[in-house]
Amino acid sequence: MCDRVAILQQGKLVDVKPIGHFTQDSEQTPTYRIEAQPIEEALDVLGQMEGIQRIKLLDEALIEVTTERERVPDMLDGLMQHHIRIYGVQVVRLSLEDRFLEITGTGRKQIG
């Protein structure tokens, strides 16, 4: 069973870390997926909140929000105060492949 990952790029060792460190980047602000309805109103409410770094509509009921962990309860409370129904909230974790692409600089860069 593998417990560490080594990243090689063009024959050079880029990094070696435990697998958990590659999928959990403590330096980045966490991103959350929120399933909510009505989605248009949820986008409007979230867009007016402070402390939210990025909002992205994924589909007709799913929004991705980048914000500090401490802001999540206030964010959800604000949505509920506007009678927006929340069906699920989950933290987005980068896959090992996502982290590899990020570390090597070969992945797509998000503009937030």
Secondary structure class of 51 (helix, strand, coil)? coil
Statement: residue 112 has pLDDT above 80: no
Going along the chain, which residue ranges are E strands? Answer: 4-9, 12-18, 31-37, 52-59, 62-67, 85-92
Query: Distance (Å, rounded) from C-alpha 84 to C-alpha 40?
Result: 10
Comparing 39-43, 68-72, 89-93, 107-111, the range with the smallest average pLDDT is 107-111
Q: What angle do CA 110, 111, 112 make, to 5 degrees?
A: 110
Q: What pLDDT sits at residue 96?
A: 67
Q: What pLDDT sits at residue 110?
A: 47
pTM: 0.65
CB 81 within 8 A of CB 48: no
Statement: residue 107 has pLDDT above 60: no
Q: What pLDDT sits at residue 1?
A: 75
Condensed to tens digits (0 to 9), the pLDDT of residues 46-82 reads 999 999 999 999 999 999 999 999 999 999 999 999 9
Domains in the chain (CATH in brackets) are 1-25+95-112 (no CATH), 26-93 (3.30.70.100)
Query: Distance (Å, rounded) from C-alpha 39 to C-alpha 79?
Result: 10
Statement: residue 97 has pLDDT above 80: no
- To the nearest 10°, report the CA torsion of 49, 71, 26, 103: -20
